[in-house]
Chain A
């Protein structure tokens, strides 16, 4: 498995775990309050810090098991994969943004708009790495 595919798998796991942690808290707070929880900045910071720390721990391990390939720059095919995955993941973010806007227009719930857009950001990042894995395996 190419080094960048391994890192993509690692990031999918890290981002999914971080997203589950974040939204499990938000849903629990919303259920307790009986309304959509407001944006909780410390929780957003915890989400970001978790991703940074997990990446710092996991990426050197992935690099160590990949040998010298880890230091090599992306070749022409890998650059195409990275670009195409980034492009496609933009659709996930766009979809979340449009869904959030329509939802806000319907419910006037600004907190829900925040959570929808933030979820879209998370989903688009996971989708980007998912598309990388897809293109590595199925061709670009």
Chain B
């Protein structure tokens, strides 16, 4: 199995806080597929810096309010 990136995110939580925005709507807004949004939310994929900025700007929060480094990760 592919190694999970040691990056946490609050994308699902932020979607819910923004009028229950759908995964498809978020995907379209940032220019990726719905499957990629699902993979990000499940922690199976770390988005590019560009997409990370697009997500944070869409929700009107800072980058570190969306993404964080997993505590206890060997590389922390």
- Which residues of A are in contact with B by a Cβ distance under 8 Å? 2, 69, 72, 75-78, 135-136, 138-140
B33 CB contacts on chain A under 8 angstroms = 2, 69, 72, 75, 77-78
Q: Is the CB of B32 within 8 A of A139?
A: no
State the Cβ distance, B2 to closest chain A Cβ, in Å. Answer: 4
Q: Is the CB of B2 within 8 A of A76?
A: no
Identify which of residues 26-69 in chain B touch chain A, using a CB-to-CB cut-off of 8 Å: 31-33, 35-36, 39, 44-45, 47-48, 50-51
Q: Is the CB of B36 within 8 A of A77?
A: yes
B50 CB contacts on chain A under 8 angstroms = 76
State the Cβ distance, B21 to closest chain A Cβ, in Å. Answer: 18
Instruction: Beyond A77-B35, A139-B4, list 17 extra A-B contacts (CB 8 Å).
Output: A75-B31, A75-B33, A75-B36, A76-B47, A76-B51, A77-B32, A77-B33, A77-B36, A77-B39, A77-B47, A78-B36, A135-B2, A138-B1, A138-B44, A139-B1, A139-B39, A140-B45
A-B contact pairs, 15 of them (CB 8 A): A2-B35, A69-B33, A72-B33, A75-B32, A75-B36, A76-B47, A77-B33, A77-B35, A77-B36, A77-B47, A138-B2, A139-B2, A139-B4, A139-B39, A139-B44
Q: Is the CB of A140 within 8 A of B2?
A: yes
Q: Is the CB of B39 within 8 A of A76?
A: no
Closest A residue to B51 by CB, please name it: A76
